[in-house]
Amino acid sequence: MTRSISQDNAVSSSRMTRALIYAVLLVFVFYYLLPLYVMVANSFKPLDEIRGGDLMALPKVWTLAPWASAWSSAQIGVEPTGLKPYFINSILIVVPAVFLSTVFGALNGYVLTKWRFKGDGIVFGMMLLSCFIPFQIVLIPAAKVLGFLGLAGTLKGLILIHFSAGIGFSTLFFRNYYAAFPTELIKAAQIDGASFFQIFRRILLPSSAPIIVVTVIWQFTNQWNDFLFGASFSGFGTTPMTVALNNLVNSSTGVKEYNVHFAGAILAALPTLLVYIVAGKYFVRGLMAGAVKG
Amino acid sequence: MASLKIKNLHKSYSSVEVLKGIDLEIEDGGFLVLVGPSGCGKSTLLNTIAGLEEITSGEIQIGGKSVEGLHPSKRDIAMVFQSYALYPNMTVAQNISFGMDIRGIDKAEQKKAIDNVSSILQIGELLDRKPSQLSGGQRQRVAMGRALVRDPQVFLFDEPLSNLDAKLRVDMRTEIKRLHARMGTTIVYVTHDQIEALTLATKIAVLKDGYLQQFGTPDEVYNDPKNVFVATFMGSPSMNLIEAVVAKKGENLVIQIASNDNNRFELPIKNIAALEDYVGKSVLFGIRPEALTDREGADRTSDQIAHQDCMIEVVEPAGSDTFAVINLGGKEAIARLRADAKITAGEQASLAFNMSKAVFFDPASTLRIR
């Protein structure tokens, strides 16, 4: 079965074109990996080796000190805490926000496709709008709302903001996925006596793995990398990783510790990298789901 | 088991009315087939019986009790869907027991019910498989199993055979009929296939554009159609409808039909009182292909066989029969002859018209003249 498919899709090509393709691909791979290489290589160098000149060279003396410093002792703003507490802040914000925006996106998609109501198109249209609206526009109203709710500067407030900003996209993902989900299955489950939530949990969710993965990766990446909301709405104890990284790099006192900055930047990027490595193949599969019949 | 009664049912989607006053009744243990072209409202009607769609007005009774406002799961019905609608994440056994699971029936009892159903439908060895690992025919069986296990008052089938290939469809048709004979449960069955309707039903409801065109036994619908639509929709090849003029010949009525050589020929008609009003006017003369045959193939029990020479235009041997295309009243008509009837295209042949099977329609209203 798979054999015949791969044969059908194979494009016969000569050795020359094949070599050319690989060459071009290699150039792109190199180009893409270059910044990562610079960051990794320099994060293991002592500072004077960086100042000495060659950014492209491998470290002569390997050291973990920049990593340790970035994690636990570097000066972030005024406090010498390292990135650790902010890393934890980010986790405390992003994990619940991703969970909530995914769950509610799934529920919205379920309702918008299988429990249609009058005006559902308008509701969906408005949710779509939130995918394309520049978030700078909503900063002041959002600040008002957070103040009104007494959540300004708190982790809960940031969770709420990320949840609301993310729900548009997760609704879009789930709605489109469930639109292709056979409605007869819902009817069959209704006749079997399943309730609204039983249908959701026992029929729809078990078939939603690909789109859940897509949504989680999307939300996690966006929320983890967010700077705008973090910079605007976080308080002293609730600053997320990205803002802390900025503070680390922009600290104006003392020498610029580039090796620590590199290590900190990699630390900040690690979770999203990890999510991609773990779930990446599901991500591609999820994006392809429905594109090919069968 | 229960009877089903539908009274003056209307159903609209905002401004579009899809069911325009349906009255139906099927007795306990009956097999009601809803048949019609796509868009006639037959699936909508089935969904309203199931409670999956709300009705605009009218009443549906199952077992003598109105089911208005009752949730689908409380109506004591089971439904088999066109796509089978098997839960893809569950095994066959879980699919069958899902409803019982929801109702909180204990595992031992569930197992007994699954075993019982799987032995009836011979799906015992499939119980641990997922729907994606089943063939079309197996999925069909599992879908029926899921309905059977509910042991409902009424079974609802929504075009259950339309996704199967031709041979399997015929097999499953027989199986459904056998199952009905065995269980004796009332069935409502939707199809667009008139052969399925004729073979399965005890009562057929022919629908078109949201109206009930005719409701009766397969024999009534086939031999005694109420209007042109029912006459042409039921039966394959469909009924020949030929323009003809009614004339009086002595005491008896005849119809005159223009043949291909600009002559007219006459056929006698049996006593249909209402046709007296049409003397000198044209009517639509309907005759099914099997009532228009070669001399030797004519029905010997008929009391009214008329013979007439006709020009054979095309001959289509079909194995068991031979179809001949002739020209009657300026239109093509199909005659169904014995397989070894000696006819040749382009030559005259004497054909037998079984006039006791002939029906007549008013050309303007398309209603039957009786």
Q: Could you please report the per-residue DSSP string of A139-164?
A: HHHHHHHHHHHT-TBSHHHHHHHHHH
| pLDDT of the residue at B1 | 61
DSSP code of residue A79: B
3-state secondary structure of B115: helix
Identify which of B155, B145, B199, B131 has the alpha carbon closest to the alpha carbon of residue B46. Answer: B155
**Where in chain B are all domains bearing CATH 3.40.50.300?**
4-227
| pLDDT of the residue at A54 | 81
At which residue do the structure tokens 């399965």 appear?
B200
**Where in chain B are all domains bearing CATH 2.40.50.140?**
240-369
Answer yes or no: are the C-beta atoms of B111 and B191 closer than 8 Å.
no
Domains and CATH numbers, chain A: 14-63 (no CATH), 84-288 (1.10.3720.10)
Look at B99 and A193 and tell me if their CB atoms are within 8 Å. yes
Angle at A149 between CA A144 and CA A150, to 5 degrees: 95
Look at A188 and B102 and tell me if their CB atoms are within 8 Å. no
Tokens read off for B52: 């999956």
| Chain A residues touching B79 at Cβ < 8 A | 187-188, 191
φ, ψ for residue A290, nearest 5 deg: 90, -20
Answer yes or no: are the C-beta atoms of B151 and B115 closer than 8 Å.
no
| Chain A residues touching B81 at Cβ < 8 A | 184, 187-188
Residue type, B338: R
| pLDDT of the residue at B285 | 93
Determine the distance in angstroms separating the CA of A206 from the nearest CA of chain B, rounded to an integer: 6
Look at A184 and B89 and tell me if their CB atoms are within 8 Å. no
Homologous superfamily in CATH for domain B4-227:
P-loop containing nucleotide triphosphate hydrolases (3.40.50.300)
Neighbours of A63 (CB within 10 A): 15
Residues B328, B284: Cα–Cα separation, whole Å: 12
Candidates B53, B87, B105, B151, partner chain A, best to mutate (most A CBs within 10 A): B87
Residue type, A198: Q
Neighbours of B257 (CB within 10 A): 22
Determine the distance in angstroms separating the CA of A187 from the nearest CA of chain B, rounded to an integer: 7
Residues A45, A66: Cα–Cα separation, whole Å: 8
Residues B48, B31: Cα–Cα separation, whole Å: 18
Candidates B13, B77, B89, B103, partner chain A, best to mutate (most A CBs within 10 A): B89
Q: How does the average pLDDT of chain B come out, rounded?
A: 91
Tokens read off for A69: 């410093």
Residues B60, B51: Cα–Cα separation, whole Å: 10
Neighbours of B156 (CB within 10 A): 27
Q: Put residue A7 in one of left, alpha, beta given phi > 0 → left and psi -120 to 50 → alpha.
A: alpha
Tokens read off for A75: 């000066």
The one-digit pLDDT tens for each residue of chain A (294 residues) are 344 444 445 555 688 899 999 999 999 999 999 999 999 999 999 988 888 878 888 888 899 999 999 999 888 877 888 899 999 999 999 999 999 999 999 999 999 999 988 899 999 999 988 888 899 999 999 999 999 999 988 999 999 999 999 999 999 999 999 999 999 999 999 999 999 999 999 999 998 988 898 899 999 999 999 999 999 999 888 999 999 999 888 876 677 888 899 999 999 999 998 888 888 777 776 655 544 433
Residues A223, B65: Cα–Cα separation, whole Å: 56
Tokens read off for A56: 């492209």
Look at B88 and A207 and tell me if their CB atoms are within 8 Å. yes
Q: Band of the pLDDT at B14, cuts 50, 70, 90?
A: confident
Candidates B79, B83, B87; nearest CB to A191 = B79
Mean pLDDT of B283-303: 90
Residues A99, A94: Cα–Cα separation, whole Å: 8
At which residue do the structure tokens 């065995």 appear?
B182
| pLDDT of the residue at B370 | 84
DSSP code of residue A10: P
3-state secondary structure of B299: coil
The percent of residues in chain B predicted with pLDDT above 90, rounded, is: 70
Q: What is the pLDDT of residues B158-213, one digit of tens each?
A: 999 988 888 889 999 999 999 999 989 999 999 999 999 999 999 999 999 999 99
Determine the distance in angstroms separating the CA of B64 from the nearest CA of chain A, rounded to an integer: 20
DSSP code of residue A291: T
Look at B78 and A191 and tell me if their CB atoms are within 8 Å. yes
Q: How many residues does chain A have?
A: 294
Candidates A184, A191, A206; nearest CB to B72 = A191
Q: Residue A243 is inside which H or E element, if any?
A: helix A241-250
Candidates B98, B146, B153, B163, partner chain A, best to mutate (most A CBs within 10 A): B98
Neighbours of A229 (CB within 10 A): 22
Mean pLDDT of B354-363: 93
pLDDT of residue B30 exceeding 90: yes
Residue type, B315: V
Pairing of strands B331-338, B77-80: unpaired
Tokens read off for B189: 């069955």
3-state secondary structure of B224: coil
ipTM of the complex: 0.82
Architecture of domain B240-369: Beta Barrel (2.40)
| Chain B residues touching A210 at Cβ < 8 A | none
Look at A190 and B79 and tell me if their CB atoms are within 8 Å. no
φ, ψ for residue A257, nearest 5 deg: -90, 85
The partner residues of B5 in beta bridges, in order of sequence, read B25, B61
Identify which of B182, B290, B160, B189 has the alpha carbon closest to the alpha carbon of residue B235. Answer: B290
B208-241 b/e (C-beta count within 10 Å ≥ 16 → b) = bebebbbbbebeebbbebbbbbbbebbbebebbb
Whether residue B370 lies within 8 A of chain A, CB to CB, comes out as: no
| Chain B residues touching A191 at Cβ < 8 A | 50, 52, 72-73, 77-79, 99
| Chain A residues touching B89 at Cβ < 8 A | 203, 206-207
Mean pLDDT of B297-319: 89
Pairing of strands B57-62, B211-216: unpaired
End-to-end Cα separation, chain A, in angstroms: 12
